[in-house]
Chains A and B, each alone.
Chain A
Amino acid sequence: AQSVTQLDSQVPVFEEAPVELRCNYSSSVSVYLFWYVQYPNQGLQLLLKYLSGSTLVKGINGFEAEFNKSQTSFHLRKPSVHISDTAEYFCAVIKAVGSNDYKLSFGAGTTVTVRA
């Protein structure tokens, strides 16, 4: 079964500094990849997704991610964070090709804390 591993459980960062959240996936077939954000006491919100095409994906709130097939990674980046980016971030995957099982599988999450 496909899975994702988020390499950092917590990432503290200063305001206006860049941030990178690492995500690796394991799958022998093509996958679709997603990043979701969960603000405190709220549900999950889609930040961006990779389905096909350009490997650099731009999302909401200034976030972007790059799909790297050779390294099986889908790292999330933002060049300058704000206090309001403090949240939990989840990488997720759906296995593609040859299956009708479009189950979304999540990583364990990365907590980003932005400090002034």
Chain B
Amino acid sequence: EAGVAQSPRYKIIEKRQSVAFWCNPISGHATLYWYQQILGQGPKLLIQFQNNGVVDDSQLPKDRFSAERLKGVDSTLKIQPAKLEDSAVYLCASSFGTGPGNTIYFGEGSWLTVV
């Protein structure tokens, strides 16, 4: 079974530039998550989708971050304009459904460095 796919794996941009990350979840998984993991910290949920609808985006900095999952399958996370503090690993994850009995599977992450 294919896992959660993310691209690009690594990206270096200058501050104020924009960047986009793509995620393709495990086939059949209705729930998709984007997490931000800053060095030395645990992952923090940015946004959660159920199919193509947003369930939780309370911790998404909406002035610069946006995410979409238009067809309820793959998703894109965009940052514009980037700040130095956005340097982090952006982890995409998916699960069959919501609820603690559903294992959340993570991708390998997209590493962003803002200089």
B-binding residues in A (CB < 8 A): 32, 36, 41-46, 49, 51, 90, 92, 94, 96, 100-109
Pairwise interchain contact B42-A41, C-beta atoms closer than 8 A: no
Q: Contact residue range for chain B?
A: 20 to 34
Q: Which of A43, A46, A104, A107 has the most CB of B within 10 A?
A: A43
Pairwise interchain contact B44-A46, C-beta atoms closer than 8 A: no
What would 5 A/B residue contacts be, using CB atoms closer than 8 Å? Answer: A32-B100, A105-B45, A106-B44, A108-B40, A108-B42
A-binding residues in B (CB < 8 A): 4, 40-45, 48, 56, 91, 93, 98-101, 103-109
A41–B105 Cα gap in the complex (Å)?
Answer: 16
Pairwise interchain contact A49-B42, C-beta atoms closer than 8 A: no
Q: Which residues of A lie under 8 Å from residue B103 when comparing CB positions?
A: 46, 49
- Our pick among A44, A103, A105 for the contact of B56 (Cβ within 8 Å) is A103
Known: A101-B56, A102-B98, A102-B99. A46 touches B104 (CB 8 A): yes
Q: Which of A44, A96, A101 has the most CB of B within 10 A?
A: A44
- Our pick among A43, A51, A90, A101 for the contact of B42 (Cβ within 8 Å) is A90
A109–B42 Cα gap in the complex (Å)?
Answer: 6
Pairwise interchain contact A96-B56, C-beta atoms closer than 8 A: no
Pairwise interchain contact B100-A51, C-beta atoms closer than 8 A: yes
Q: Which residues of B lie under 8 Å from residue A51 when comparing CB positions?
A: 100-101
Please give the distance in Å from A38's CB to the nearest CB on chain B: 8
Q: Which residues of A lie under 8 Å from residue B106 when comparing CB positions?
A: 36, 43-45
